[in-house]
């Protein structure tokens, strides 16, 4: 199943979208056409040029042992919070995805494994949110302090504050923006934050 990944340009506010077919789906399609029993191989090699760098190379080999396609990916452990613990998996996943794309398996576009992991994480959170996300109540004149999670869905690392007729979400909102959208929040370009408008006239 393809994954749609959104990125917002912080300077212009423009949203770009990539459609990415997961590596698992590419592997499935590849094996349907070229099963292991026919002698086709998907080979990966991992190396460590230095203590912070992981290099992954993936190759598709035909039954005669000839290289049909190659995909390469390099990741740094200090590049992101994901890479800090999963740089090897990140690099290998990306290399396999690129290799299979080059071999003709995979709709959409090339995409980094980190982008894919982020998209899949958001999808999983959205599934879980169907039963868990509940909008917080708010009364006229109830100006709660920073960190009051009764103003929005309870999400790890996210706090809320009320500013006038807006509830503003703070923290690592990018990773949970899908959940915030489900709870009625939208990107406020003036506040540079995800916010939800409320009616202060209600009692």
Could you report the per-residue pLDDT of 46-67, keeping only the tens digit for each?
A: 999 998 999 999 999 999 999 9
> Do 126 and 145 fall into the same domain?
no
Parent domain of 188: 133-197
139 assigned to some structural domain: yes
64 assigned to some structural domain: yes
Could you report the per-residue pLDDT of 158-187, keeping only the tens digit for each?
A: 888 988 889 999 888 877 777 788 778 888
> Do 24 and 80 fall into the same domain?
yes
**Separation of alpha carbons 102 and 60, rounded Å:** 10
pLDDT at 67: 96
Contacts of residue 69, defined as CB under 8 A and 6 or more positions apart, other chains included, come to: 59, 60, 99, 100, 102, 103
pLDDT at 2: 60
> Do 62 and 147 fall into the same domain?
no
> Do 89 and 137 fall into the same domain?
no
Last residue of a domain, one of 114, 130, 146: 130
Q: How many distinct structural domains can be found in the chain? A: 2
> Do 125 and 141 fall into the same domain?
no
> Do 112 and 170 fall into the same domain?
no
**Separation of alpha carbons 126 and 38, rounded Å:** 40
Query: For the packed helices 81-102 and 23-33, what is the interaxial angle rounded to 10 degrees?
Result: 30
Q: Taking Cα atoms as reference points, which of 46, 70, 80, 86 lies closest to residue 175?
A: 80
116 assigned to some structural domain: yes
Could you report the per-residue pLDDT of 91-114, keeping only the tens digit for each?
A: 898 899 889 989 988 765 555 555
Last residue of a domain, one of 104, 130, 156: 130
Query: Helix or strand or coil: residue 156?
Result: coil
78 assigned to some structural domain: yes
Please, where are the H alpha helices in 103-176?
113-132
């Amino acid at each position: 199943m393809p994954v749609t990944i959104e990125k917002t340009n912080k300077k212009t506010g423009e949203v770009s979208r990539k459609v990415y077919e997961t590596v698992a789906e590419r592997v499935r399609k590849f094996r349907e056409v070229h099963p292991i029993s026919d002698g086709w191989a998907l080979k990966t090699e991992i190396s460590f040029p230095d203590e912070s760098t992981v290099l992954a190379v993936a190759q598709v080999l035909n039954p005669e042992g000839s290289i049909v396609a190659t995909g390469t990916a390099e990741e740094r452990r200090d590049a992101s919070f994901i890479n800090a613990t999963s740089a090897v998996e990140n690099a290998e996943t990306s290399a396999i995805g690129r290799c299979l794309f080059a071999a003709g398996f995979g709709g959409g576009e090339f995409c980094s494994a980190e982008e894919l992991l982020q998209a899949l994480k958001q999808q999983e959170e959205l599934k879980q949110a169907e039963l868990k996300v509940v909008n917080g109540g708010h009364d006229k004149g109830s100006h709660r302090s920073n960190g009051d999670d009764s103003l929005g869905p309870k999400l790890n690392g996210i706090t809320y504050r009320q500013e006038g007729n807006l509830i503003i979400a703070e923290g690592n909102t990018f990773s949970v923006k899908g959940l915030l959208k489900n709870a009625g929040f939208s990107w406020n370009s003036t506040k540079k934050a995800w916010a939800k408008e409320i009616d202060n006239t209600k009692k």
